Structure 1
Amino acid sequence: MRIGQQPGGSGAHGSSATAHDTSASATAQAGKGDGVVSRVLRRPLAYIALTKPRVIELLLVATIPTMLLADRGTVDIRLILVTLFGGWMGAASANTLNCVADADIDKVMKRTAKRPLAREAVPTSHAAIFGVTLGIASFGWLWWQANLLSGVLVVATILFYVFVYTLGLKRRTSQNVVWGGAAGCMPALVGWSAVTGGIGWPAIALFGVIFFWTPPHTWALAMRYKEDYRAAGVPMLPVVATEQAVTKQIVIYTWLTVLTTLALVPATGVVYAAVALVAGAWFLLMAHQLYSGVRRGESVKPLRLFLQSNNYLAVVFCGLAVDSVLGWDTVGSFFG
């Protein structure tokens, strides 16, 4: 080796390589030093995916009509918007923390394998911080813009969904979605409390509608993906029971759903009553067709019921919204 020559190169080439290595090292160190904020900015879509935007549609379906019913005949746009924003943050928090808790089984199931934590697009610790931050922001926002009860109900929803359903029930019992589904009913109570400062019986009825609707909706999906749930060790009802037993339960809960929508009729007008009756008959027909098909040993498509159950709930709540905005005399007033 000549004097002045460096290992790995000579002259200008050696200096260039050294400079390149130094630059690469500096870049690597800078990358290691990236914080949560920079990661969020670089991967916004992954963080949005953590919140499960499509699931949050239920928030819109339940909250707006409930608020319109609570203030029947009046539309307070500002209050509706601020409540939706606060509720969105709360739902996004619950869904994100659910992804954190379920990251291990999401990797196993084909339906969830592309979720951000399953494909390691977002660090788990950062997702947890993101979820907790959204929850705190939701509580503060609703307390400020609506009232304390609304903020407390959102926090209760997040805690119930994460600790009671996700960590407590989901992997232990086939009745997981029956009781865990209560978290998805809370937007009705939040919306009502934002308007009235309390909880009235119509809000409880709307809570019941979503509560009874959740099992047939979810079990229909689980029938389609039962092998995924079995592989992940999640004892959804279609995994541990026969198709006939599952579809029988679907029929029972569909009847309970429709009857609960009709229980709300005294507090509403003829528009909602008509919509609830027609949509209910349609939903019952679909559930009975699925059950009959299974009993006859035919090839059935449970995913169709899952998809159409979304349409059913949307139609019923849209009917409620229109009825509430019109503000016509309630059915109950004709008997009282």
Structure 2
Amino acid sequence: MAYVGLTKPRVIELLLLTTVPVMFFAAGGVPDLGLVVATVLGGSLSAGSASVFNCVYDRDIDEQMRRTRRRALPRHIITPRAALVFGFVLGILSTVVLWAWVNELSAGLSVAAIAFYVFGYTMLLKRRTTQNIVWGGIAGCFPALIGWTAVTEELAWAPFVLFAVVFFWTPPHTWALALRYREDYKQVDVPMLPVVRSARVVARQIVAYSWVMVATSLLLWPVAGTGLVYPVAAAVLGAVFLVQAHQLERRARGTEDLAVIRPMHLFHSSNLYLSLLFVAVAIDPLLH
């Protein structure tokens, strides 16, 4: 179970949630079950590999943060070398699975996602800039492309719209969490935006990104010619999310008290928003 924990299963679940619905959308209905299984397996191994490498590199700061100090490496249950080997094994297996049973393009995108998350976000951006998760979040957008290419074996504008939705969703989602744990990040000198800016400034940024995210989500309707299920769902879910983002901004005016701001409310809501939006992505072609 310690090794499983290194793969961050909850992150894998979220990434798969943006992979499988896109496969339904790309197929215009129910995709081949074997292809779905192979893509899910390869994607899970890929995301797990990236997470393991992240845990190895960040083990020094994870040991000092309340949210992460119970992980296997900070508790010295697993050695860094053993974890590193585990990460490479998962990465190799994911590439083999996707290359052999899905296609070369999907396998290549998977490798690119791992590389960007490890080298781009974890090693280069995370400890150097307040924009770490803005650009580092690109790695979490790749599943939309992988799900599409698994079915079509080519790229198109539609998956890039969904890629952009996840890109603009990441800052509100992560900054809400970082607000809750800003003292942890401050203690280990990770310059997350809530560490170096006031809660009100962070909340305004969350509102700005939320508006762009919702507008981007509605682009899928004209770009991909969806039915009415998706745009209606996107509009309703987007409206609810924007209300919650503005409520967070109002609560953050003139206070740094997290009990008043309640950032975790938006964090959990962001998970629900993305989940339901991609469920709509999967359902739309079934009813269109």
User: After TM superposition, is the score higher than 0.5?
Assistant: yes
Residue number in structure 2 paired with 1:108? 64
Q: 1:210 aligns with which of 152, 162, 166?
A: 166
Greater relative contact order structure (CA < 8 Å, 6+ sep) = 2
Structure 1 CA distance, aligned partners of 2:154 and 2:121? 25
Residue number in structure 1 paired with 2:18? 62
Residue number in structure 2 paired with 1:223? 179
TM-score (norm 2): 0.96
Q: Which blocks of at least 5 consecutive residues in structure 1 are unaligned? A: 1-44, 329-336
CA deviations 1:294-328 (Å, max 9, x no partner) are: 125472100110011000000111111111222x1
Q: 2:236 aligns with which of 269, 272, 278?
A: 278
Runs of 4+ in 1 over 3 A off after TM superposition: none
* Aligned-partner SS, 1:171: coil
Structure 1 CA distance, aligned partners of 2:231 and 2:37? 27
Q: 1:301 aligns with which of 243, 248, 262?
A: 262
Residue number in structure 1 paired with 2:109? 153
Structure 2 CA distance, aligned partners of 1:113 and 1:102? 11
Q: Match of 1:253, as an amino acid? A: Y
Q: Which blocks of at least 5 consecutive residues in structure 2 are unaligned? A: none
Residue number in structure 2 paired with 1:93? 49
Q: 2:100 aligns with which of 144, 161, 165?
A: 144
Q: Percent identity?
A: 53
Structure 2 CA distance, aligned partners of 1:81 and 1:269? 27
Residue number in structure 2 paired with 1:13? none
Q: CA RMSD in A?
A: 1.0
Larger CA Rg, structure 1 vs 2: 1
The answer as to whether partners of 1:224 and 1:302 remain within 8 angstroms in 2 is yes
TM-score (norm 1): 0.83
Structure 2 CA distance, aligned partners of 1:86 and 1:179? 24
* Aligned-partner SS, 1:119: coil
CA deviations 1:15-41 (Å, max 9, x no partner) are: xxxxxxxxxxxxxxxxxxxxxxxxxxx
Q: 2:2 aligns with which of 42, 46, 69?
A: 46
Q: Match of 2:233, as an amino acid? A: V
The answer as to whether partners of 1:75 and 1:325 remain within 8 angstroms in 2 is no
Structure 1 CA distance, aligned partners of 2:286 and 2:21? 9
Which residues in structure 2 correspond to 1:1-336 (within 5 Å)? 45-266=1-222, 267=224, 268-295=226-253, 297=255, 299-326=260-287, 328=288
Question: Aligned pair count?
Answer: 283
